[in-house]
A and B are shown apart, each in its own frame.
Chain A
Amino acid sequence: MESASIAVGQGAAADHHDHHGPPEFHRSARIDQTVLGILLFILSEIMLFAAFFAAYFFLRVVVSPDTWPPAGIELPVLIAGINTVVLVSSSFTIHYALEAIKHNNHPGLKLGLGLTWLLGATFLFIQINEYIHIGFTPRDGAFGSIFFSLTGLHGAHVFVGLLLLTFANIRAWRGHFGPEQKNHLGVEVPGIYWHFVDIMWIVVFVTIYII
């Protein structure tokens, strides 16, 4: 609730007649609503990825156990590995940004957010480049389909994460955010999402490129 409601003291029940806004709801849990919301959202995101992983393992284990990946397909493990490093390091920068604002360090916040954004954009750029040069298309067999779907699904999440980070950056440069939790949710929540995107990439990377 943005409207600054007057903190209702223990004895202030008298003025409930001229109350016009919503009454302050009772907090029955300590966790912040937005944080809980994003965690649940991430749960459903994980299940969406799980659906595609299920498809992946059906195709790989049940249908083509011997020819996976199909002959002639060489995945650019090295480039993807570098990309992994890029994305994982952005988890540290966003964490730094959050720590900074908790200590009311605005320059640190801007630095952290900016770096995270750049790292994320680099990741997307490299991935699109990889798509162009990879030598097969989504139409090439089931492998092509699941490869592009899983990495593409993840790429779409990076894109959404970048969008959220863009907002956070704009607001940081406008001087928003402060050390109290309710004042830096705009950093914390995209941050949680960003960590999820990172961890999910590690799972995707290990599944598709390594094992």
Chain B
Amino acid sequence: MERLPYLKLALASIALGTIVSILMMQYDWMGDAASTAAGPIDTLMDVSIIISSFVFAIVCVALGYALVKWRVKPGDEGDGLPIHGNTKLEIVWTLIPTVIVLFLAGYSWVVLNDIEKEDPNALTVNVYSQQFAWTFGYPENGNKWSEGVLHVPVDRQIDFRMNAQDVIHSFWVPEWRIKKDNVPGITTDALITPDKVGTYQLICTELCGAGHATMRAQVVVQTQEEFDRWVKGLESEVPEDLLLTADQAIELERQIQEAEQGIDGSGVDETSAENVDQS
């Protein structure tokens, strides 16, 4: 059994991996970046693309080499070498991927903590989603509402508090790199610090029915002064039915039932024969 040209194989993998990574780095995959989360996330993406390119290169080089080197000559009916395994090699290709993925996990964790760091000075914005529209409320300003257009100040952390009225929707501004589902019955939240003035699109990314594809809103990132002026101009408050949290909704339901049934509202069906008997 001739020795494998380990060095050549390694060099070939490195060369191919480098070429693939360089090619992949030429393009700005995720488009414009407009929040402080974008930096760390894009770097993480680049790192994982580079690592992936090398993993892919190793697989390709190994496969290509084997095919060139050991492709059978016509008429050769013989068998290959009866090698059953190689413990050292098997340990290597168990350990190295383990190290790589643990590194990726640790790095991701760091990035996650970084992009979710809370700022006490954050501005809270309420997000209300329903089929198929977005509404925004500004609690620091009497929860005045804005329909279909989201304005936020630049360079200040926004604490989005999201509520869905009917089915699940999802809040995504690609330039901010952050996405969060709006789930009926609970309030989810996302912290985002926009760092570039401009106009963007808010996209619903959770299937929510026939209008899902067009459930969008405009996002305007502006300076604090412009934002203040805009927010002052808002007039009406968020309508009652959008405000309901789950608890309130249950309470409301209960009150309606009580009004109809006139008793404790334990949910007992008044019309069932059972209860007529007892009363």
Closest B residue to A141 by CB, please name it: B267
Closest B residue to A132 by CB, please name it: B274
Cβ B267 vs Cβ A70 within 8 A: yes
Cβ B269 vs Cβ A140 within 8 A: yes
Q: In the complex, A63 Cα to B247 Cα: how many Å?
A: 10
What is the distance, in angstroms, from A68's C-beta to the closest C-beta of chain B? 14
The number of A-B residue pairs with CB atoms under 8 Å apart is 28
Number of interface residues of B (CB under 8 A): 10
Chain A residues positioned under 8 Å from B236 (CB to CB): none
Cβ B269 vs Cβ A133 within 8 A: no
Contact of B10 with A by CB under 8 A: no
Within 8 Å by CB of A133, from B267, B268, B274, lies B274
Cβ B274 vs Cβ A136 within 8 A: no
Cβ A70 vs Cβ B274 within 8 A: no
Cβ B274 vs Cβ A72 within 8 A: no
Q: What per-residue 1/0 map shows which CB atoms of A34-76 lie under 8 Å from chain B?
A: 0000000000000000000000000000010000001111000
Chain A residues positioned under 8 Å from B268 (CB to CB): 72, 135-136, 140
Cβ B264 vs Cβ A135 within 8 A: no
Q: In the complex, A139 Cα to B185 Cα: how many Å?
A: 18
Q: In the complex, A132 Cα to B274 Cα: how many Å?
A: 8
Contact of B266 with A by CB under 8 A: yes
Q: In the complex, A137 Cα to B272 Cα: how many Å?
A: 10
Most buried by A among B266, B269, B272: B266
Residue numbers of A with Cβ under 8 A of B are: 63, 70-73, 132-133, 135-137, 139-141, 144
Known: A71-B266, A72-B268, A136-B269. 5 other contacts (CB 8 A): A70-B266, A73-B266, A135-B268, A140-B269, A141-B267
